[in-house]
């Protein structure tokens, strides 16, 4: 029974660790999304600037900045896809661990209940034995 309790506690600990890793992965995805959004906003601003450019230098600078930002956007998109895959993997592991943890917890509770019922039966048997002894006296 103690081993089952210890196993239950270990599984809860694993579940907590996986949950934390899953949350961290989601936070990294959110951070990359914000970075991508900022880069998109910069591209939009430089595009508007180039449309309204009064000088060739401003137009050239805007075009260069857009060209510089494009690879950064692609890199962030690749990172985001990899992180989403990692998050999905962590989520699957977490769900599996949740099922395992809940199963072990259920088994522990079931065994605990069986043990209580057995103790109650033993106590009732002892009380019945005592009662029958006094009744015969």
Instruction: Write the burial class of residue 44 (CB in 10 Å: 0-12 exposed, 13-18 middle, 19+ buried).
Output: exposed
Q: What is the pLDDT of residue 69?
A: 94
The owner of tokens 């989403």 is: 84
Is 101:11 a contact under the CB 8 Å cutoff? Answer: yes
Distances (CA, A) of 45 to 8, 16, 40, 56, 60: 55, 43, 9, 17, 14
Question: Which CATH number is 49's domain given?
Answer: 1.10.287
- For the record, the structure tokens of 23 come out as 């949350």
| Domains contained in the chain, number | 1
* Residues 7-25: tens digit of each pLDDT: 999 999 999 999 999 999 9
- The boundaries of the domain holding residue 72 are 2-136
* Mean pLDDT within 76-105: 95
Question: Where are the strands (E) in the chain, listed by range?
Answer: none
């Amino acid at each position: 029974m103690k081993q089952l309790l210890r196993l239950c506690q270990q599984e809860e600990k694993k579940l907590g660790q996986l949950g934390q890793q899953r949350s961290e992965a989601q936070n990294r995805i959110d951070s990359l999304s914000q970075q991508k959004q900022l880069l998109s906003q910069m591209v939009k601003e430089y595009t508007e600037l180039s449309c309204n450019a009064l000088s060739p230098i401003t137009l050239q600078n805007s075009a260069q900045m857009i060209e510089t930002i494009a690879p950064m956007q692609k890199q962030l998109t690749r990172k985001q896809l990899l992180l989403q895959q990692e998050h999905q993997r962590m989520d699957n592991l977490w769900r599996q661990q949740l099922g395992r943890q809940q199963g072990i917890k259920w088994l522990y509770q079931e065994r605990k209940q069986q043990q209580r019922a057995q103790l109650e039966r033993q106590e009732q048997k002892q009380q019945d034995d005592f009662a029958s002894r006094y009744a015969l006296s």
